[in-house]
Chain A
Amino acid sequence: MKSYLASRFVVLRDQERCIQCRVCVRQCGYDVHAYDSEAGDVFSCDERCVGCHRCVVFCPTQALSVRENPLSYRANANWRPEVMEDVLRQAETGGVLLTGMGNDKPYPIYWDHLVLNASQVTNPSIDPLREPMELTTFLGAKPEAVTLDPETGALATELPPQVPVAVPILFSAMSFGSISLAAQESLARAAAEAGTLFNTGEGGLHRSLHAFGEHAIVQVASGRFGVDPEYLEEGRMVEIKIGQGAKPGIGGHLPGEKVSAEVAATRMIPVGTDALSPAPHHDIYSIEDLRQLIYALKEATQYSKPVGVKIAAVHNVAAIASGIVRAGADYVAIDGLRGATGAAPKVMRDHVGIPIELALAAVDTRLRQEGIRHRVSLIAAGGIRNSADVLKAIALGADAVYIATAALVALGCRVCQMCYAGKCSWGIATQNPYLTRRINPSIGARRLANLLRGWSLEIQEMLGGMGINALESLRGNRLHLRAVGLSESEMRVLGVRPAGE
C-alpha cells in the first residue's frame, strides 16, 4: 500500500563539505544514507530518518544537518500533524501504535513550577567546598524506634536490611533486551563507581554482570524472566514490578526479533520467541496476595535484603501505596506519567497515569497521616531531568529518585522514541551486534559517572545554599519549596505554599 505519510525529517548534506567517506552510511541504523557507486556520491532517503543525529555527530567534515520537515499543514488546533499522521499510520497497518521513551505531550511539568529556598542573613548557608555534606541515603524500612544497649551504647534494635547509596540517584529498570548489554554494563559500572544501584528490569542478570550484583536491583515481574534463586541471591535489593509509568495497567511484549541467543540465555527462554509479561502477576490479585509474594521473596532471600514494589502513578496512588507498605514492602517506587519505556502503545504512554510530582506528594502525605512513612523508602521516577528535579523530589518526600532517560541521553540517546524498532544507531536500544559495539562500557560508565558526579556537586551546592548539610534534613521538608504559577488545588496536593507567602 502506498504510504500517505510525508517524511518527518529532511537530511541536509552540504555537497561542498561531503567527501563521500560513507561514515554516515555505516553509522545510520535506519539505512537513511546510501552510496551510489556509479555516480560516486552519497545520497539520503529522508523518509527513513528518525532524527537521532548519529550521522551528524560522526560526520568528519560537518557536512550533515537534520531538520524537521518544514512541510506545512493547514493550521488546525484540533487536527494537528501528529494526530493526522497517527490516523494515517493506523489506516495503513491496522495495528496498535507503538512508541518509545516517555510521554512527550505538553502536560504541566510541576518541577518547573516549584522553586527552592536559600539562606539569607538569618541562617547561614554552608560552603560544601569546605564543610562535609551528607548525601548518603539508606534505603529500606526503618524501625518504630531504636534502643541502645545501656552498657555499650551499641544499637540494640535489630534493623531491617538497609542499603546505603552514596547519591540518592538510582538507575531505573532497563532490561537487557530492551537495551543492549553494553548499555546495561555501562549503567552497572557507573553504579558501582558512584556507589549507587542499577536495576535489571525484567530481563535477568547477564552472567557477565554478576560481578555487579552488589549494585543491582533485581526485578521480578509477571513473566518471571531470568528469576531463579541465584538471581535473587546476587541482587542487592529485589523489586516486584507491578507497573510502569509509560504503560500503567498493561504488561510487556519483547518481540521475538530481539530475543537473541544472549537475551534468551539471560531470560531463560528459547531464542526468537516473544517474551510476554502479562499485565497482572497471576499470583497477585489483592494487597494480601502482594504480601504473599513480598514474603515469598523475603523467605527466598532469608530476610537479607529489601524487597520493594514498583507501581505506576495512577489516580488512587496514595491508597495503593499505603496498602503496599502494609503488605510489607521495604520500598515503594512510583513511576509517573512521564516515565519512559522501550516500547509501549502510544495511547497508553500519552494518556494514562498522573504526574510524579503530584503522586509523590500525595503518597508521602498519606503515609505520614497514617503514621507509616518510616516503614518504607520512597523512590520517585518518571521525568527527573537534572539535579534540581532530584532535590525538589526529595523535598516533596522522596528518599531517592530513579533516572533512566537522563542516563540514556548521557550515552547519546536523542529521545527519538524509536526504541521499539531495535535499530538504535547509538547502540542503546538494539541487539544488533554491529550497532551495540558502538558503546564501550568503560566509556559509557565514565559518561554516566560524570553525570552523577555533576549532579551530586550541584545538589551539595543547593543544599549548602539552604543552610542544610545533610540530605536527610530536606527529605519531605516542603517548606523549602514554593510554587510559581500553580492553582490552589495543585498547591494543596503538593503541600506547597505559593511563592511570596
Chain B
Amino acid sequence: MSDHDLLSSDPDQEIDAHGVHYRDLNARIRQALQRGPCQRLALRHVCGQRYIGTGLRSHVRIEIHGTPGNDLGAFMDGPTIIVHGNAQDGSGNTLNSGEIIVHGRAGDITGYAMRGGRIFVRDGVGYRAGIHMKEYAARRPVLVIGGTAQPFLGEYMAGGVVLLLGLNLQADEPHPTVHVGTGMHGGVIYVRGAIEDWQLGREVGRAELEEEDRVLVERLVYDFAGHFGGDPQAILRAPFVKLFPLYLRPYGNLYAY
C-alpha cells in the first residue's frame, strides 16, 4: 500500500493530543495499542509533546499531525512514525528499529546513536545530525535528508548510512555544512551536490560512487520520493560524492603503551 492509499483511509484509532502532557499522551498511546489490533494510530493537534513513541516496541504506524517535541521515537523498536509537520531535536535518538518520516524539517542530533531503522526528513536537519550512528551485523541505520544540514553532520559516525540530498539548494550552490564526519570511524555519507574538502573533518575521505553505492543511493532516493513525491530520476541526475572514514581507529596512536 502506498503512502497515499494509507492516508486516504481512516486510521484505526485517534488521539486528540491538544493540551495533553507527554506522559499522559504516551500512556494513551500504549493503552491504544493494548486495546486491540491497531495498525494505524493518528495523533491530532500535537504541540511540542516530547518522547512520542519513545521506547515503544510495536509495529504500529503512528501519524502525527502537528509538531512533536524532542526525542521523538527515542530508543524505539519497530513502529513507523509519520510526522505531518516539523520535528524538533533528538528525533530517533538511539533508535533501534522502525522508521521516522518527517514531512518537514528536523532539528539537532537527528538520529543520534541510532543503530537500526530509517529516518527520512523531507527538508533540512539541524546540527550534529547522524552523530555517533553505529551498525552491527545486519542492522544498518539509514538517515536520508532531503534538504541540507547544519555543521557536524555524521560526527563520530561509527556505522550506518547518511544520504544528504540538498534538494533545497540552487544548482552549484554548495552545502552550507562544515566539519562533516569529524571523528568518523565507520559508516558512509553520500552527498548530492557540491561539498568542498574544507567542509569535511580530517578523518574523512572522498570517493566516486561505485556500483554498489549507486544501487543503495538509488533505492533510498526512490524510497524518499515514495514518501514525499518528486521525480527520483531527476534527483539522481545530479552528481553524488561518497564520504568515508579514512581510519577505523582515528585515535589509535594517541597513547603511550
Contact = CB atoms under 8 A, between A and B. Distances in A.
Interface string A270-300: 1011101010001100000000110111011
B37 interface: no
B61 interface: no
A63 interface: no
B248 A276 contact: no
Contact of B256 (A89, A270, A274): A89
Interface in B227-253: 248-253
Given A274-B185, A282-B131, A98 B77 contact: no
B226 to A, nearest CB: 28
A421 interface: yes
Most buried by A among B23, B26, B158, B253: B158
B136 A301 contact: no
Contacts of A421: 257
Contacts of A273: 158, 185-186, 248-249
A223 interface: yes
Contacts of B154: none
B118 interface: no
Given A268-B134, A282-B131, A299-B55, A276 B251 contact: yes
Contact of A282 (B26, B74, B96, B128): B128
A489 interface: no
A323 interface: no
B70 A292 contact: yes
Contacts of B54: 296, 299-300
Contacts of B183: 276, 278
Contact of B51 (A89, A228, A282, A296): A296
A228 to B, nearest CB: 5
B249 A274 contact: yes
Size bin of chain B's contact surface? 35 or more
B158 A253 contact: no
A397 to B, nearest CB: 31
Interface stretch (B38-46, B107-115, B162-170, B173-181): B107-115
Contacts of A293: 71
B103 interface: no
Interface residues of A, number: 45
A444 B26 CA distance: 43
Contacts of A272: 248
Nearest to A91: B256
Given A95-B256, A232-B55, A299-B55, A276 B158 contact: yes
A256 B77 contact: no
A114 interface: no
A90 B256 contact: yes
Interface string A239-260: 0000000000000010110000
Contacts of A274: 185, 248-252
B254 A96 contact: yes
Contacts of B76: 229
Given A268-B139, A273-B186, A302 B252 contact: no
B256 A229 contact: no
Contacts of A90: 256
Contact of A255 (B26, B96, B252): B252
A360 B115 CA distance: 37
B256 A94 contact: yes
A487 B129 CA distance: 51
Contacts of B94: 224, 227-228
Nearest to B254: A96
A93 interface: yes
A229 B57 contact: yes
A228 B115 contact: yes
Given A255-B252, A282-B132, A229 B77 contact: yes
A443 interface: no
A264 interface: yes
A8 to B, nearest CB: 15
Given A223-B132, A296-B54, A301-B55, A228 B75 contact: yes
A363 to B, nearest CB: 28
Contact of A270 (B113, B135, B155, B255): B135
A300 B22 CA distance: 12
12 contacts: A94-B256, A98-B256, A223-B132, A229-B96, A256-B252, A276-B183, A282-B112, A282-B155, A283-B109, A293-B71, A296-B93, A421-B257
- Report, nearest first, the 10 A-B pairs whose CB atoms are least far apart: A300-B55, A95-B256, A93-B256, A224-B113, A268-B136, A299-B51, A299-B54, A300-B75, A229-B77, A228-B96
Given A95-B254, A229-B55, A272-B248, 10 more contacts: A93-B256, A95-B256, A224-B134, A229-B57, A256-B248, A270-B135, A282-B132, A283-B112, A295-B50, A421-B257
Interface of B: 22-23, 26, 30, 50-51, 54-55, 57, 70-71, 74-77, 89-90, 93-94, 96, 109, 112-113, 115, 128, 131-132, 134-136, 139, 155-156, 158-159, 183, 185-186, 248-257
Interface of A: 89-90, 92-98, 222-224, 227-230, 232, 253, 255-256, 264-265, 268-270, 272-274, 276, 278, 282-283, 292-293, 295-297, 299-303, 345, 420-421
